[in-house]
Chains A and B, each alone.
Chain A
Amino acid sequence: MSGLTKKIIAIAGASAFVSSAAIAADLTVVSWGGAYTKSQVEAYHKPWMAKTGKAIVSEDYGGGIAEIKAQVESGNVTWDVVDVELSDAIRACDEGLLEPIDHSILPPAPDGTPATEDFLPGTLHDCAVANIVWSSVYAYDSSKTRNWNKPTTMADFFNTKAFPGKRGMRKSPKVTMEFALIADGVPVSEVYNVLGTEEGVARAFAKLDTIKDDVVWWEAGAQPPQLLADGEVVFSTAWNGRVFNAKNAEGQSFEMVWDGQIYDLDLWVIPKGSKNKEAALDFVAFSTATEQLAAQASWISYGPARASSEARIGTFHSDDSINMADHMPTAAANFKNALQNDFEFWADNADQLNERFNAWLSS
């Protein structure tokens, strides 16, 4: 009964999610849309299509593994390759929703270093291969004249006396709570140890309390640049690539503060039961080769997951004066006080902290 029940729900879910299942494609690649998908189309899709002669259909989604789960459980898998966050990749893999990816299919670096050594530590997993490192930072609009000095630290984000005005933050405990602790003086190496205790959670909420009345909460990645451009907020947490894009492709004068940045990975996964598994594996191997990862970096300021790609990062595709390497989360100047998102901590605590976060929000 229950298997049938799940199937019925999953089919209903899948049919609601997927409207373009009918389009015939050799490969369906799903990613986050906007400037990010564009960078992948330019650096991965086009060369792959030229090489293999196969067609890729690119779809957008909003993250999470709900669609993958619905497709796998209904047995109607229409997505072949999906770009997911690390915590989702691990969770989906543990739940048997993904095809394992044999790391031996990944091409070595140009100098012959095997892929398993070339990829940055923690970027290769049983069912997932990372392509980029992205980061949550905060940004401000430097064209608006204000009576304050440039903010430089995470503590400045929470300092409403020296930097009055509204702040944009993502409506999620993830990243928000880490930022609060970093601003409260917790060293980045200690953040998750502190957050793992009851006192640490209370401390993070106490810090958030100090700016609660000044926060505008955002949910979609496209919102922070808009909030900043509209002058709705003076500071906003944001994804670094979005801010970079708003600045260099749309002419906004945004500045990022890298102190206390929290970086994370985006990885390719293949939903279990993909109808084009061979092509999907070939695409994953092709797109995470040194050349392709380096090429993507000239379209968006997300760091490549391979060490050998870093030396090959060029300039911004539309402006030769912008050296992309300086704008990566992993660039030395930006990386000084950085924290890696702890997927295991969030896998354990997301449910509980989300309830507490929502209770806190509405209290």
Chain B
Amino acid sequence: MADSQTAPLEPITAADGTPLKKKLAQALFRSRVRAVSLVVPLFAFVMASFVIPIIALMWQGVYNDRFSSHMPNLTEQLTMWDGLTEPNEKMFEALVADLKTARADRTIGRAATRVNQESPGTRSLFTSTARKAKKLKPPFKESVIKANKKWGNIEVWQAMKITSQDLTPGFYATALDGRYTVDQGFVRQDENRQIYVKLFWRTMLISATVMGLCLLLGYPVAYLLATLPLRTSNLLMIMVLLPFWTSLLVRTTAWIAILQSQGVINDLMVFVGITADDARFSLIYNMTGTIIAMTHILLPFMILPLYSVMKTIPPSYMRAARSLGATPTMAFIKVYMPQTIPGIGAGGLLVFILAIGYYITPALVGGQDGQLISNMIAYHMQKSLNWSLAAALGGILLAGVLVLYWAYDKVIGIDNMKLG
């Protein structure tokens, strides 16, 4: 046994005398640096144009200093106030001081708009009182209430106290049809103003329907693409890709021309006699129109992943199953379909995630019951300029997608997904 023990080996060296191990590490390091430096521009680009803006926007969903930065004195007083007792003279004094500066700086609208989000109708209260602020004399409580009796209303002050807190759950509460109040915490929004939760559910429902329809329509097409002889399948592929390359707006407006009540389909139905001229079907400007147009637009996103997976399934598997006695249906269900699951998963997830963020198509053909939550987000980004609420709505949507993604990973496994 003793002679089997060998003396410690001299490390193997490269031609220049450095140990081979070290040399290898150096070479690997260099290639790694090269690889990383190739990715750096993309990484920096994605960070700067995508990740950081998203984080910044999400931050706006819980943080809004529009009030406190423009009404600093009043914010200080409101922090000390308990929110229940009668507002005191000091608070009125701070109000007048801040109104004066805000009026001079032309920033009064910013604070006013912020409070108006909490308590509708207070915007003009601020702007009109700010115009008179210079003339107001102590005691301020009396003169301010005299200028506009709404200032005697404790709800206005409570709304200001809420808005004076920079870090606030208020926008998320609004996004879930609730309200955050000083005295009662979270309460339900008035019934006739509840809209967002309903829209979230409708968005999920429409997205799921579109995904289901895409799968139903896309699966046979992908199968044909993968199994037909090249000449025919190429032609078919062009027919799938051509609409894919056409502008989204063109395709949406084409659907308007086809589906509207004086459109091709309705004309045909009247001509054939399925329906009377004055009882044409409403196929557009409602949920039906949204689902039809979105299914058409998102169909390639289902077909292409399915196709790429089906292409890799050797036809011999089906033949083997048949030769072992399976009926065609049985062979398809037991042998072929399980192998396409990665494609179904990828296509389904892709279509679903694209569908819940869709907004141009629903905006054009949605009418009154085909609107999605993304239309509301666009409204708050572009029209009402309530970016914090838009951020909160977007945050909830993002969380919803992540939950679904997580669930998908648990049930099917993300490694199983194949995009091509």
Contact = CB atoms under 8 A, between A and B. Distances in A.
Interface stretch (B87-95, B152-160, B188-196, B400-408): B188-196
A216 B285 contact: yes
Interface in B97-156: 105-110, 112-113, 116-117, 120-124, 127
A60 interface: no
Contacts of A217: 285, 367-368
Interface in B273-314: 285
B118 to A, nearest CB: 10
B107 A96 contact: yes
Given A362-B198, A362-B199, A64 B383 contact: yes
A351 interface: yes
Nearest to A352: B120
B336 interface: no
B195 A95 contact: no
Interface in A255-289: none
A257 B413 CA distance: 62
A171 to B, nearest CB: 8
Contacts of B234: none
Interface in A115-146: none
A65 B113 CA distance: 14
Contact of A95 (B107, B192, B261): B107
Given A348-B116, A351-B117, A356-B192, A94 B49 contact: no
B113 A66 contact: no
A9 B387 contact: yes
B195 A232 contact: no
Nearest to B121: A348
Contacts of B121: 348-349, 352
A113 interface: no
B109 A93 contact: yes
Interface stretch (B50-58, B213-221, B349-357): B50-58
Contact of A5 (B60, B193, B369): B60
Contact of A359 (B53, B127, B194): B194
Nearest to B261: A232
A193 interface: no
Contacts of A354: 379, 384
A212 B286 CA distance: 13
Nearest to A220: B364
Contacts of A355: 193, 195
B63 A94 contact: no
Most chain A CB inside 10 Å of its own CB: which residue of B285, B368, B384: B368
Most chain B CB inside 10 Å of its own CB: which residue of A94, A230, A348: A94
Nearest to B367: A217
Given A215-B368, A354-B379, A358-B195, A9 B56 contact: yes
- For the residues of A in contact with B, the DSSP-based class is helix
Interface string A4-25: 0110110011000000000000
Contacts of B26: none
Interface in A2-52: 2, 5-6, 8-9, 12-13
B371 A94 contact: no
Contacts of A94: 106, 108-110, 112, 127
Interface string A55-78: 000000000111001000000000
B193 A95 contact: no
A12 B53 contact: yes
A33 B137 CA distance: 49
B267 to A, nearest CB: 11
B56 A356 contact: no
A91 interface: yes
Contacts of A347: 116, 123-124
A216 B113 CA distance: 32
B385 A69 contact: yes
A12 B45 CA distance: 12
Nearest to B381: A66
Nearest to A166: B261
Given A8-B52, A351-B384, A344 B108 contact: no
Contacts of A351: 116-117, 120, 384, 386
A32 to B, nearest CB: 15
B106 to A, nearest CB: 4
B260 interface: yes
Given A5-B60, A8-B53, A9-B53, A360 B192 contact: yes
A191 B49 CA distance: 47
A66 B382 contact: yes
A215 B379 CA distance: 21
B262 interface: yes
Contacts of B52: 8
B376 interface: yes
Contact of A362 (B108, B261, B368, B382): B368
B382 A64 contact: yes
A362 B202 CA distance: 10
B59 interface: yes
A13 B120 CA distance: 27
Interface of A: 2, 5-6, 8-9, 12-13, 64-66, 69, 91-96, 166, 171, 212, 215-217, 219, 230-232, 344, 347-352, 354-356, 358-362
| Closest CB pairs A-B (n = 4) | A94-B109, A352-B120, A95-B109, A96-B106
16 contacts: A2-B65, A2-B166, A8-B53, A9-B387, A64-B383, A66-B385, A94-B112, A96-B105, A217-B285, A217-B367, A217-B368, A347-B123, A348-B122, A350-B384, A356-B193, A361-B371
